[in-house]
Amino acid sequence: MPENFTPVSVQQIEELLKWTLSENKTLTVKGRGGKTGFGHLMETDCTVSLEKLSGILNYDPAELVMQALPGTPLDEIEAALSANNQHLAFEPMRLGQLYNTHAESGSIGGTFMANLSGPRRFKAGAARDHILGIKAVNGRGQAYQSGGMVIKNVTGYDMSKLLTGSWGTLSIITEVIFKVLPAPQTSQSLCVLNQQPEAALALMTKLAQSPHDISGLAYLPGDLSKHYLHYDGIDDDTSLTMIRLEGSVLSVAERLKSVMRLIPHKWRTETMQQEASQQLWTSIRDVSVFTIFGNTPVIMKLSIPPAAATAITDFIKASAGVHWYMDAAGGWLWISMPEVLATTLIPGIRQKVAMHGGSAVLYSAIEKIKKTVGIFSPQPAALVALNKRIKESFDPGNILNPGRLGLV
């Protein structure tokens, strides 16, 4: 009996799922396998990979819409867009390095199933904000579609959004349609040196409230920044507050002046070199800034009201071996911690997050830790039950990525 399936058509996926359901088997669903480290370890009977359902089906730059098969490599999508001066505005992160999956870019299907985004999140949204339509096969082996090729559409429920971020637990997608946008002509970053977290957060807040259309606001404490510092006369443990502006050359130059006026003179501010800033934003996006500590097995991502960021960093700063940085103007905190602390620290962090409202997702850990604390924060019973009913409405036999999210 085959254990690995690589379907080449929707019909094969329908057949596979009907068979899986009738035989009481279970499936691990992956695009190109770039994000298999997310969620609980699954022990399923078979694996289905969508790598052969690959290719761009429809791309007309003037329509700002692209239609692609789910297994299309994200790199291929981004290259096609780039050739037309367009991009995915939600700046999807790459998880290849975090999950050690040969640094591969993953697939466009996986990008949506994981609802990826990047530093531009607070301005441009996440994958969920760019999905327009989807074709999929549910856990009964029935193909269905939702949405379409147009930017504005309220015809029926927004199933595409519900599937986005579902990590392959609701359906196997067979096509995605998404919005694309003109890429900025240029990008310019500033860094403010040596701010304490409170001062950095205050500055990021002020800038996010400004009309200068800033597309990146991140803060790296001194323990993380040293690899990226190339300025004379500063210490190794100097923190970096990063500010990114994107747009036309003229617009960026104008806004840069306006932004400089908002930064109090007492802070030393440097304009970053193109290449260095590019590299740093990529590291922030992909959570690879933690790699300077070598093996950092436990990583979580908090999405919080930005004003709560320092309350949470204050809470974790006393723990040895814990590192963190802020992205998305303080709306995100990425935290890495040693395994020995995880099972006590994570519930504490989640309690703190719950006080302010927010989410705290475990991105990386050994299964033992994942089992103890869960991938997601504990949720109220009514919400747990609703998530379970939604899962059943797509996948009554619980055959698709069973247990991956710990929701059922």
Partner 1 sequence: MPKPDPAIIAGRQALIHALQRLVSDEQLITDQSSLRVYETDGLSAYRQLPMLVVLPDSTQQVAEILKICSEMHTKVVPRGAGTSLSGGALPLEDGIVLGLGKFNKILDIDYDNRCVVVQSGVTNLAITDAVKQRGFYYAPDPSSQIACTIGGNVSENAGGVHCLKYGLTSNNILGLEIVLINGEILRLGGKHMDMEAYDLLGIITGSEGLLGVVTEVTVRILPDPETVRAMLLGFPSNETAAVCVGEIISQGIIPAGIEMMDKLAIEATEDFCQAGYPLDCESLLIVELDGPAAEVNQLIEQVSSIATECHATSIKVSQTEAERIRFWTGRKAAFPAIGRISPDYYCMDGTIPRKQLPHVLARMAEMSKIYGLRIANVFHAGDGNLHPLILYDANNPGELEQAEAFGTDILRLCVEVGGVLTGEHGVGIEKRDLMSEVFSEQDLQQQLRVKCAFDPDGYLNPGKVFPTLHRCAELGKLHVHHGKLAFPDIPRF
Binding to partner 1 (CB under 8 A) within 21-40 occurs at 21-22
State which of positions 187-216 bind partner 1 (CB under 8 A).
205, 208-213
> Taking a C-beta distance cutoff of 8 angstroms, is the pair 365, 301 a contact?
no
Please pick, from the candidates 40, 76, 140, 403, the single residue that binds partner 1 as defined by CB under 8 A.
140
Q: Does 331 bind partner 1 (CB under 8 A)?
A: yes
Structure tokens at 96: 């290849």
The phi and psi torsions of 66 (rounded to 5 degrees) equal: -130, 145
Q: Does 56 bind partner 1 (CB under 8 A)?
A: no
Please pick, from the candidates 157, 314, 340, 351, the single residue that binds partner 1 as defined by CB under 8 A.
157
> Taking a C-beta distance cutoff of 8 angstroms, is the pair 200, 306 a contact?
no
Q: HEC string of the chain?
A: CCCEECCCCHHHHHHHHHHHHHCCCCEEEECCCCCCCCCCCCCCCEEEECCCCCCEEEEEHHHCEEEECCCCEHHHHHHHHHCCCEECCCCCCCCCCCCCCCCCCCEHHHHHHCCCCCCCHHHHCCHHHCEEEEEEEECCCCEEEEECCCCCCCCCCCHHHHHCCCCCCCEEEEEEEEECEECCCEEEEEEEECCCHHHHHHHHHHHHCCCCCEEEEEEECHHHHHHHCCCCCCCCCCCEEEEEEEECHHHHHHHHHHHHHHCCCCCCEEECCHHHHHHHHHHHHCCHHHHHHCCCCEEEEEECCHHHHHHHHHHHCCCCCCEEEEEHHHCEEEEEECHHHHHHHHHHHHHHHHHHCCEEEEEECCHHHHHHHCCCCCCCHHHHHHHHHHHHHHCCCCCECCCCCCCC
The rounded radius of gyration (Å) of the Cα atoms in the chain is 22
Nearer to partner 1 among residue 328 and residue 373 (C-beta): 328
Binding segment for partner 1 (CB under 8 A), chosen from 93-101, 102-110, 125-133, 313-321, is: 125-133
Q: Name the minimum Å distance from CB 240 to partner 1.
A: 22
Alpha-carbon torsion, ordered 318, 239, 105, 366, to 10 deg: -10
Site string for partner 1, 243-282 (x = CB under 8 A): ----xx-xx--xx--x------------------------
State which of positions 211-250 bind partner 1 (CB under 8 A).
211-213, 247-248, 250
Q: Does 162 bind partner 1 (CB under 8 A)?
A: yes
How many residues of this chain bind partner 1 (CB under 8 A)?
103
Q: Name the minimum Å distance from CB 12 to partner 1.
A: 5
Nearer to partner 1 among residue 51 and residue 254 (C-beta): 254
Q: Name the minimum Å distance from CB 244 to partner 1.
A: 16
Nearer to partner 1 among residue 210 and residue 319 (C-beta): 210
Binding segment for partner 1 (CB under 8 A), chosen from 71-79, 102-110, 142-150, 270-278, is: 142-150
Q: Name the minimum Å distance from CB 295 to partner 1.
A: 27
Strand pairing class (131-138; 171-179)? antiparallel
Q: Name the minimum Å distance from CB 367 to partner 1.
A: 19
Q: Does 355 bind partner 1 (CB under 8 A)?
A: no
Q: Name the minimum Å distance from CB 316 to partner 1.
A: 17
Q: Name the minimum Å distance from CB 251 to partner 1.
A: 4
Q: Name the minimum Å distance from CB 276 to partner 1.
A: 26
Q: Does 387 bind partner 1 (CB under 8 A)?
A: yes
Q: Name the minimum Å distance from CB 274 to partner 1.
A: 20
Please pick, from the candidates 27, 29, 50, 65, the single residue that binds partner 1 as defined by CB under 8 A.
65
Q: Name the minimum Å distance from CB 134 to partner 1.
A: 11
Binding segment for partner 1 (CB under 8 A), chosen from 188-196, 263-271, 278-286, 303-311, is: 303-311
Please pick, from the candidates 358, 363, 369, 401, the single residue that binds partner 1 as defined by CB under 8 A.
358
